[in-house]
Chains A and B, each alone.
Chain A
Amino acid sequence: MPAIEVEHLQKRYGDTVAVADVSLTIEEGEIFGILGPNGAGKTTTVECIAGLREPDAGRISIMGLDPMADRDAVRGVLGIQLQESQQPDKLKVGEALELYASFYSQAADPEQLLGALGLLDKRETRFAKLSGGQKQRLSIALALIGNPRIAVLDELTTGLDPQARRETWALIEGIRNRGVTIVLVTHLMEEAERLCDRVALIDAGRVVALDTPAGLADAAVAGQLIRFRPSAPLPAELLEGLPGVHSVELERDQVIVTGSGDVVSAVIGALARQGIVAHRLRVEQASLEDAFVALTQPARRI
């Protein structure tokens, strides 16, 4: 049985359609990324999954349970870290964990969790005195205190410095290794590329692509992108006919060629035959970010 199944989810707020049509299947034990521009409907989707909002249409199943009908049971198997959720300023880290542990009948050991999240020496520290990274780790700890089978983490590393971000990523991998299914909502490509087994790209309330991060990148932007500054004016036709070349674009004095296969050597060979030198030559492999841009803003596709 999949960990999460979402079929044709729809949710609107008044006249605004937050989620138009989202379908996903998330398997047990995977790290599943939900990616998309701001306002795409990512948070609304996970809020429906967690049973915080009632869908207007569609079906959601969490380990075979309905988030609205089986409210308590779903909350027992799914832990969530909400975007921008805080604790009372004067609540100590240890107290927060013990409090949330009391909400679950099979809670994790707060001490062990504090250790795993590197917060043991902060047990007696009040929430207001924690750094951004420590608050985020506490928030993750609270999402895990009920020993959930699924952890939903929304905008996990937003606002963290690169060091803290990397530490958090290592932590997420550790949690997955304990068998917890992880749903990661993010708009950071690097995060999704690094962590996710599969990614759903959501735009304007719809799933526009669903694949592995590498698969998405390949499908969206064919192969490679070559940029250089030719030493002499270069007619575009000279490159357009070459094998493997998909497009040639002249941007001021810069040439941008996209293509696949042996496109790099074909371009360099053609330039050499004309006696043109390619200055500042750069070859870029398509990334998830290219896919993101290509799939969510079709008007500006390269």
Chain B
Amino acid sequence: MKKMTARARTIAAPRAAFTKLLATEAKLFLREPLALFWGVLFPLILTVAMGLAGDGHDTSLGGLSLVDVYVPVTMAMVMSIMSVSLLPVILATYRERGILRRMSTTPVRPWALLGADVTVNIGVIVCAMAVIAIVARVAFHVALPSQGFGFALTLALTAVAMLALGALVASLATSARVAQGLGTLLFFPLMFFAGLWVPQQQMSATLRDVGDFTPLGAATAAIQESMHGQWPHASHLTVLAAFALVLSVAASRLFRWE
């Protein structure tokens, strides 16, 4: 009898739990001014700065304007900062403070917390990228991606690769501080090949070839292509898919709850 009552009381965790987790994690993200600045505001400021610096065509940029070239770069930057620099710190902190463990003593699985954080991360990325695209379009006449499907596919693969890389950083880091260090360290090579310091159009052929085999190098090139109505080059999509797959498998094997 008691067995029955105990079971009946807790048939699955209430569906409200995930919604509540999502709302709470979103609130917590919005309470981090530094995260908001680096993840959302800074890439937008960079886009605007590039737009003000020049929206005229430049032959050294393959006939594109500076802001044309930088919109895919700042979009890649949003994904890099949100998923590789900020997400691992949140996850490592939750593990370090025993929050994941605490959650696993409730009817809710700690997976739900992970899911909520990833969802918030994706939500912020989508919003930040939409704002960049709109501002660039309205203020600097940058074309919206006309190959919509190719663009969406590129973003989906890049997001999976970056989120998995973030989860991998969280798995390897022994503490939140280490996670922060690793995330920052990864930012530089990832964004270098994306063209943050030297646009891909101005890189040497060799450097560009190397960059095409990095996730954000491939992502930036693919976004650029889809903005000009082309279907992203198969090699870029293959590289992104490979990173998404390998990093996801590694992260799911190595992720530690405690």
Interface residues of A (CB under 8 A from B): 1, 50-52, 63-65, 70, 72-77, 79-80, 82, 84-88, 90-91, 95, 98-100, 102-106, 142, 146
Contact = CB atoms under 8 A, between A and B. Distances in A.
Interface in B1-36: 2-3, 6-7, 9-14, 16-17, 19-21, 24, 27-28, 31-32
A75 B12 CA distance: 11
Q: Chain B CB within 10 Å — which of A76, A82, A86, A95 has the most?
A: A76
Interface of B: 2-3, 6-7, 9-14, 16-17, 19-21, 24, 27-28, 31-32, 93-94, 97-99, 101-102, 104-108
Which secondary structure dominates chain A's binding surface? loop
Contacts of B28: 88, 90-91
B10 A102 contact: no
B102 A85 contact: yes
Contacts of B6: 63-65, 70, 73-74, 76-77
B107 A104 contact: yes
B24 A99 contact: yes
B1 to A, nearest CB: 9
A276 B19 CA distance: 79
B215 to A, nearest CB: 29
B134 to A, nearest CB: 30
A73 B2 contact: no
Q: Which 5 interchain pairs have the tightest Cβ spacing? A: A76-B10, A102-B20, A86-B97, A85-B98, A103-B106
A212 to B, nearest CB: 27
A52 B105 contact: yes
A146 B97 CA distance: 21
B238 to A, nearest CB: 39
Contact of B20 (A72, A84, A98): A98
Contact of B27 (A84, A95, A106): A95
A99 B99 CA distance: 13
Contact of B2 (A1, A100, A103): A1
A73 B68 CA distance: 56
Given A85-B102, A90-B28, 17 more contacts: A50-B105, A65-B6, A70-B7, A72-B12, A73-B6, A75-B10, A75-B106, A84-B98, A85-B99, A88-B93, A88-B94, A88-B97, A90-B31, A99-B21, A103-B17, A105-B10, A105-B14
Contacts of A85: 97-99, 101-102
Nearest to A50: B105
Given A73-B6, A86-B97, A90-B28, A103 B102 contact: no
Contact of B7 (A73, A79, A84, A106): A73
Given A64-B3, A95-B27, A146-B106, A86 B99 contact: yes
Nearest to B10: A76
A88 B27 CA distance: 12
A23 B98 CA distance: 28
Given A63-B2, A75-B107, A88-B93, A102 B14 contact: yes
B90 to A, nearest CB: 9
Contact of B97 (A1, A65, A73, A87): A87
Nearest to A142: B102
Contacts of B102: 82, 85, 142
B24 A91 contact: yes
A86 B104 CA distance: 14
Contacts of A86: 97-99
B14 A103 contact: yes
A87 B17 contact: no
Given A99-B24, A103-B106, A52 B99 contact: no
Contacts of B101: 52, 82, 85
A51 B109 CA distance: 13
Nearest to A90: B31
A91 B101 CA distance: 17
Contacts of A91: 24, 28
B97 A72 contact: no
A266 B50 CA distance: 98
24 contacts: A52-B105, A72-B13, A73-B9, A75-B10, A75-B105, A75-B106, A75-B107, A79-B105, A82-B98, A85-B102, A87-B99, A88-B93, A88-B99, A90-B32, A95-B24, A98-B20, A99-B24, A100-B106, A102-B17, A102-B20, A102-B21, A105-B10, A106-B9, A142-B102
B107 A103 contact: yes
Q: Chain A CB within 10 Å — which of B2, B9, B11 has the most?
A: B9
A85 B106 CA distance: 14
